[in-house]
Structure 1
Amino acid sequence: PLAISMTIAGMFAMACLNCAEIFFLIFYTFKRYNGLYFWSMLIAVVGTFLEAISNLFRLYKIGPNMLMATLLGVGWWGMVTGQSTALYSRLHLIVSNRRKTRAVLVMIIASFIFIQIPDVILWLGWNQNLHGFVLGFHIFERLQLVVIAVQETIISGLYIWEVGHGLKSVIALRGSEARAVVRELIIINALVILLDLSLITTVYTGHLNIQITYQPLVYSVKLKLEFIVLNKLVTVLSQRD
C-alpha cells in the first residue's frame, strides 16, 4: 500500500539523516579516536545505518534477499549492543559501586549471546521459509524486544537514580543551575525508556516491515540523546570540581 510505503520511506530518511549527523558529531566531539565510549558510539551509528539501508534494499528487492537479511542482522547487533555499551561506558562517571557497573556489563554480554544471536539465526531461517523457523522467529522476536527494552530501562534507570541521589552535594552547592542539569539528565533517560516502550508496541501492529524500519529511527534518536547525556554529565562533573 502507498501509505505504508511512504511511512517506511519517511522513517528510513529520518534514520539515515540522524546517522549522518551523529557520525559527524562523533569525529567533531572526540579529541582522541579511542576508548570504549568512542568505539561503541561508532559501532552503534554504523550498525543503525546498516540496519536501515539493508532493510530498504530487502523490501524493494534491490539486492539478494539473504544477503540483505544477513546485513540487517549484523546491523541489529551493532545497533543494539553498541547503544547499550555506550550507556554502560558512561556509568562510571556517576556510579561508584563497581559491582553495579560490572553487573550491567554481564547483562549486556548475556543478552547478546543468549538473545540477539539466536534471534538473528531464527530471522535468517524465517527469510528462507525454513520449516520450524517461522513460528520460532515470531515468538523470539517479541521476547527479544522485551528483554532489550528491560535491559536499556535498567541502565537508564541507574542514570536517573544515581544522578538524583549521588549528585545531591553538587545540587546543593550550585543551586538552580545544577538542578536544571540534573532535571535534563532525568528527562533524557526517561525519553529513552519511552522510546523503548514505543518500539515494543510496534510488534503488535501486524506490520513487520514497519517495525523493522521504525527500529533504526528509534535508535538513531536515542544515540543523539546520548550526546546530550554526555555533555550534561561533563557539565555536572566540572561543577563538582
Structure 2
Amino acid sequence: MSGVRNITVPWVPLDEFDWSFARTGPLPWNLTVWSILAVFTALPIWTTVELTFWVLYTFERWRGVYFWSVLGTTWGVTIHAVGFVLKFCVPEANWILTTVLSEIGWVAEVCGFSVVLWSRLHLVIPSDKRLLRIVLATIIIDEFVFGVPTITFQFLISNSATHAKYLPHMEIMERIQIMAFSVQETAISAIYVWGTLQLLKLSLNAKAKTTLAFLIIVQVLVVLADVIVIALDYLEYYTLKAVLHSFVYAFKLQVEFVVLNEFKHIAKGGITGAGAFPSFNHTGVPDMYKGSAISGSDNSNASPMRSHPGMTVSVSTRGSLPSGETGTEVPMVQNQGAEEPDVFERQYLGRYGR
C-alpha cells in the first residue's frame, strides 16, 4: 500500500520507564503507558466538548468574568492535552508548535481556574471588595512570578540543543510553581469555605447546613486532586503528571458546575429563607427589610409585604406577646416561582440552569 511507512519505536518495560524531565524524544513503546496516555487525553477532550455545550446553553448572557474564565479554562484543558500528545507521540511534530500549544493550555488551565475561583468569591463575600482585589492581584502577580520562568525553561528544555544545560533549573522551577499555584487555589478555596460558613448564620433549617457542608466537601476534593499532581511531580513522574494535569482540571470544572447548581438553589431563598445573600446595615438588619416591621421601625399590627425578585416576605407583629416572649414573629417566606430571574441569576449568571 502506498503511503505506509514503518516507524520503529523502542520498547521499554514499565519498571524501567523514565517518567522524568531527563527523557527526550518520542515516547517509548509500552502498552500500559500508551493506554494511560490515551485514556487521560480522551477524557479531558470529551469534557471540553460537554462543558462547552453546557456553558453556552445555561448562560443566557455570554459575557462576564465568570463566563469567559470557565470557557477559557475548559478549552485550555484540551489545548494542553493535545500539545503533550503531539510532543510525546508524534516524532515529526515541530517542538516549537507542541510547546506553544502545551504552554498556552497550561496558562489557561492554571490561571484561568484561579480566576474562576476568584469570580465565585463574589457569591459569598460580595461586600468585601478589598479582599476580592487582593486575591485578584495575587493571581496576576503569581502568574508573572512563577508562570513566566516556568514557560521560559519549558521552551529551553524542549529544544534538544539546550535541554541538558537548563534541565536542572527546570526541575527546581517545576516543583516551585506547582506548589505555588496549588497553594494559591487552596487559599482561594479556603476563603470560599470561610464565606460559606458565614452563610450558615442566615440558615433557618437543617437543609441549609447539609447543602453548605456538601459544598465544603467538594472544595476538599478539589484540594486532594492538587495533592495527587504535586506528589507525582515531586516523585519525578513528570510525564504521568503532564498527562493527568488536564484530566484533573477537567474534573475541577465538572465540580464547579455542581457548586453553582447548589448555590443557585441557595440564592433563590429556598434554603436560607432570606433571599439571595442580603446585605446588612449598621443595625444588623438586612437592607432588604430596612424600614419594615422586622427592623423595629414599625410597631403597628399591620402586616406589610416586602418583596424582592422571586419571592415575597410577609412580616407581621402582634400588640401583645405571651409571657416571656419578646420581639416579632419569624417572617413567612412564600416562593412565587421563577417567573422573574432572581438577583443571583440577573447579576451574576444571566439565567443559569434554565
TM superposition score normalised by structure 1 = 0.95
Instruction: Write out aligned runs for 1:89-100 (5 A).
Output: 89-95=119-125, 96-100=127-131
**1:192-231 deviations in Å (ceiling 9; x for gaps):** 1111111101113433221111000000000111111122
Tell me the equivalent position of 1:207.
237
Q: Does 1:128 align with 2:159?
A: yes
Tell me the equivalent position of 1:59.
88
Q: 1:83 offset after TM fit, Å?
A: 0.5
Q: 1:162 offset after TM fit, Å?
A: 1.1
Q: Does 1:235 align with 2:265?
A: yes
Runs of 4+ residues over 4 Å off in structure 1: none
Q: Which runs of 5+ in 1 are unaligned?
A: none
Instruction: Write out aligned runs for 1:70-219 (5 A).
Output: 70-95=100-125, 96-129=127-160, 130=162, 132-164=165-197, 166-171=198-203, 173=204, 175-219=205-249
Whichever residue aligns with residue 51 of structure 2, its letter is: I
**1:75-110 deviations in Å (ceiling 9; x for gaps):** 101111110001101111111322211111011001
Kept in 2: contact 1:54–1:71 (CA 8 A): yes
Q: 1:169 offset after TM fit, Å?
A: 3.0
Kept in 1: contact 2:80–2:101 (CA 8 A): yes
- 1 or 2 for the larger relative contact order (CA 8 Å, sep ≥6)? 1
**1:25-84 deviations in Å (ceiling 9; x for gaps):** 111111110000000011101111100111111111162122101110111011111100
In 2: Cα distance, 1:230 partner to 1:40 partner: 14
Q: How many residues align?
A: 238
Partner-residue secondary structure (3-state), 2:60: coil
> Highest Rg: 1 or 2?
2
Kept in 2: contact 1:37–1:86 (CA 8 A): yes
Q: Which of the numbers 1, 20, 39 marks the counterpart of 1:10? A: 39
Kept in 1: contact 2:79–2:102 (CA 8 A): yes
**1:123-154 deviations in Å (ceiling 9; x for gaps):** 01011141532111111011110000000000
In 1: Cα distance, 2:184 partner to 2:227 partner: 12
In 1: Cα distance, 2:234 partner to 2:111 partner: 24
- Relative to its length, the structure with more helix (as a share) is 1
Partner-residue secondary structure (3-state), 1:63: coil
Kept in 2: contact 1:170–1:236 (CA 8 A): no
Q: Which runs of 5+ in 2 are unaligned?
A: 1-29, 276-354
CA RMSD of aligned residues (A): 1.3
Q: Which of the numbers 32, 44, 48 marks the counterpart of 2:77? A: 48
Q: 1:232 offset after TM fit, Å?
A: 1.5
**1:156-200 deviations in Å (ceiling 9; x for gaps):** 111111101x112332x1x12211210111011111111111110
Partner-residue secondary structure (3-state), 1:92: helix
In 1: Cα distance, 2:149 partner to 2:165 partner: 14
Tell me the equivalent position of 2:282.
none
Kept in 1: contact 2:150–2:174 (CA 8 A): yes
In 1: Cα distance, 2:267 partner to 2:196 partner: 11
Whichever residue aligns with residue 81 of structure 2, its letter is: A
In 2: Cα distance, 1:206 partner to 1:4 partner: 15
In 1: Cα distance, 2:231 partner to 2:58 partner: 34
Greater Cα offset, 127-136 or 116-125: 127-136
Share of identical aligned residues, percent? 30
Q: Which of the numbers 252, 257, 270 marks the counterpart of 1:222? A: 252
Tell me the equivalent position of 2:285.
none
